[in-house]
Chains A and B, each alone.
Chain A
Amino acid sequence: MNFDFSDDLNQLREQARRFLKDQSPTKAVRAILEGQDTYDRALWKGMAELGWLGAAVPEAYGGAELGHEGLCVLAEEVGRAIAPVPFSSSVYLATEALLACGAESQRERWLPAMVKGSAIGCFALAEGLGNPAPGLVKARVENGRLTGDKWPVSDGDIADFAVVVAKDAGGTVGLYLAELNAGGVSRSTLKSVDPSRNQSRIRFDNAAVQPLGDGAQGWSAVERLLDRAAVLMAFEQVGGANASLDMAVAYANERFAFGRPIGSFQAIKHKLADVYIATELARSNSYYGAWALATDAPELALAAATARVAASDAFYLAAKENIQTHGGMGFTWEMDCHLFYRRSKLMAVQLGSNPYWKNRLVNLWDAQAA
């Protein structure tokens, strides 16, 4: 049994944690949350220099070839720092889409630039309210031209291109590459609960697009992309949950009331023990997801749904109970608690909320246990 990351990757984790502690303190998260900029450009550049943006990209495209286990380790640390960068959109979704479905020319066009940090990709699936479903895809591609209204698109204002889910003239779902600075594309920023991460509405009006690879891959290609991204997102969420828990424990140990640290009260202890349990179960499920992702196992879909459900619940639980542990100060703008609270709920709905993932989980489990 070797159900842990290798020594090398645990070392990578330590380096990543130090780097992010230094380069992405909550002060930097606030700068994006409160300011005009859409992401932390200096941090993004630093991450590119460390090879993180191409962690799971083959060397042929300039990648670091750390593999997907390496990417999981980095994702956890990015989540711990709630880093204000388009890491999930560009690395877990756009890069993975190119690697999974892209034509060689498309990979050559985008991957080296993405690895260097000079190009950013995003993933445009949603068209308003609702969880991922083929029936909700109204965007149409005819004669190489895309028309549709995609929102929300995480990092849509930042990205140079989007991997767009759309239907062809025959109604088959496929993936398309759209350059976002081209004609027929208009973008507007959407207000969200977590302004430290960009959300955008992208309208395509007869915009020129290319099919990604063969084009009409069908809805299963979308599901597969979401599964892979879900494992990586789960690691980010586990990191965020751990950071929230650490913050709550630290505060409970130093805050005195009734003549003693509030952390000595069982009401606080038991609450945080429950957060710890949820976080550890999410971590363990995510490890299994990492194994399935790295080995491209047939169990990936079920493992991803399991990790995703556990991690979304754990991060939200940790973030909300962190605020309660802090008492009145917890809901002030000044304290950092709300940064994690905002991010936890944003991440819980990106890629589809838990009703979607639970539904998928039960379908897959029932099929597997048949």
Chain B
Amino acid sequence: MDFNDTPEEAAFRAEARAFLDANATRKKPNEPAQRSRYNEGPEALAQSKAWQAKKAAAGFAGITWDPQWGGRGGTSIQQVIWNQEEANYNVPRGHFEIGLGMCIPTMMHYARPEQLKRYVGPALRGEEIWCQLFSEPSAGSDLAGLRTRAVRDGDDWVINGQKIWTSGAHYCDYGILITRTDPNAPKHAGLTMFFLDMKTPGVEVRRIKQISGTSNFNEVFFTNVRLPDSQRLGAVGGGWKVSLTTLMNERLAVGQAPGPDSADILQLVRGLTIDGEPALANAAVRDRLADWYVKTEGLKYTRFRSITALSRGQTPGPEASITKTVSATKLQEIASFGMDLLGQAGAIMEPDSIPAQGWFQEALLYAPGMRIAGGTDEILRNIIAERVLGMPADVRVDKDLPFSELPKGAAK
């Protein structure tokens, strides 16, 4: 065992580092993790787009993509190396993961060549941003229960319905959209996928204000939205299969929940006292710290095992399912315990008077969302049980019934 790169990997790492050194500022050693609030302003989007364009021009945007689409034709391990290196620099983050990680790869499988020629380049260069219009008010974990209708009308389709939890819809230019085209077929069989311009008439985006006060997600309403059949992806009734391509990429894209981790709670503990003694001397505190350290380290070395598998040309295991569920739960625990440690002032978020500028309090408010987005704790456990442990799927009472005859429940 060792932690060294192969000569090829080392060469790529040096190349990545040279580009980053020339184009970005390196974080100071031990610089605390990003603590600023989620930046919703237009300047953040502009910076993000500019950085993406720079990366694309240098061949660091579509590292694993085919050169015909502006990619590098590189390996997954090169992508990992790039991500490791980029994380050491202060560069804009966000905005492109869903489009480039999920939507465009789906397009590559199903769109026509002339469409790919039109859309892939601008997406890679950050000129156009894509979103994924999947979840609905009554179709979250049970995505195939979606109700947004697409009805054929000559060469067009007319869309009516509502999507929800659409990340970034408010700044996105295009989206991929899954709809129900046959309510009389069993639920998985009556779905069809499309892509669309978010400025198509009849599309309305409303931002959702979350517990934390930020608005990363949206509701998207469709009222008589007319799409040409040429914007269909995959077969009529084949939408479920198309969505699996997208979601497979989602699981690779979803990673560690961002926020205060074990090193940050240690830092907090060091500055506090309990009954006049250093908090670090308190047995209850030490017990919790040890548990979180063990989890953080365990995730780190699980990731190293996956990277090793990639480096050896193997497919990594279900690491992402473990990472997301463990890190999101740990985040919520750390946030909550960090507040407990502050005693009566634990709920206060005044950045000037509260340690870490209120980072733990902020994390408490967004952590519940981390346990849901990209697969709930429960769905991820189902995935582990069924795909890794080989346990039988749940009995599906709705599997073979026409969608129109399924019990719908009282909730909208």
> When chains A and B are docked, how far (Å) is the Cα of A270 from the Cα of B321?
13
Whether B297 pairs with A285 at a CB distance below 8 angstroms is yes
Given contacts A284-B298, A284-B301, A284-B304, contact A273 B286 (CB under 8 A): no
Place the interface of chain B in its size category.
Answer: 35 or more
Whether B3 pairs with A266 at a CB distance below 8 angstroms is no
| Chain A interface, number of residues (Cβ within 8 angstroms) | 46
Question: Which chain B residues border A362 with CB–CB below 8 Å?
Answer: 280, 286, 289-290, 293
Within 8 A of A (CB), among B236-279: 263, 266, 270
Stretch from B109-117, B144-152, B335-343, B387-395 that touches the partner? B387-395
Q: Which of B3, B5, B381, B388 contacts A270 (CB 8 A)?
A: B381
Question: Which chain A residues border B305 with CB–CB below 8 Å?
Answer: 3-4, 284, 287
* 29 A-B interface contacts by CB (under 8 A): A1-B304, A3-B3, A4-B1, A4-B305, A249-B391, A253-B390, A253-B392, A266-B382, A269-B381, A270-B381, A273-B384, A276-B389, A277-B325, A280-B298, A280-B322, A282-B298, A284-B300, A285-B294, A285-B297, A287-B304, A287-B305, A288-B297, A290-B1, A291-B3, A309-B290, A310-B298, A357-B290, A366-B266, A366-B270
> When chains A and B are docked, how far (Å) is the Cα of A310 from the Cα of B296?
11
Whether A266 pairs with B297 at a CB distance below 8 angstroms is no
Within 8 A of B (CB), among A225-256: 245, 249, 252-253
Decide if A101 is an interface residue (CB 8 Å cutoff).
no
Q: 1/0 per position for A252-287, CB-CB distance to B under 8 A?
A: 110000001101111011101110110011101101
- Write the nearest CB–CB distance from A251 to chain B, whole angstroms: 11
> When chains A and B are docked, how far (Å) is the Cα of A261 from the Cα of B299?
32
**Contact residues of A: prevailing secondary structure:** helix
Whether B382 pairs with A269 at a CB distance below 8 angstroms is yes
Decide if A69 is an interface residue (CB 8 Å cutoff).
yes
- Write the nearest CB–CB distance from B9 to chain A, whole angstroms: 8
Question: Which chain B residues border A4 with CB–CB below 8 Å?
Answer: 1, 305, 308-309, 312
Decide if B378 is an interface residue (CB 8 Å cutoff).
yes
> When chains A and B are docked, how far (Å) is the Cα of A193 from the Cα of B173?
65
Whether A361 pairs with B298 at a CB distance below 8 angstroms is no
Whether B4 pairs with A284 at a CB distance below 8 angstroms is no
The chain A residue sitting closest to B263, CB to CB, is: A369
Whether B308 pairs with A280 at a CB distance below 8 angstroms is no
Given A4-B312, A277-B384, A287-B1, 12 more A-B residue pairs with CB atoms under 8 Å apart are A2-B311, A3-B1, A4-B309, A253-B391, A263-B385, A263-B391, A264-B392, A269-B381, A273-B382, A276-B388, A309-B294, A366-B266
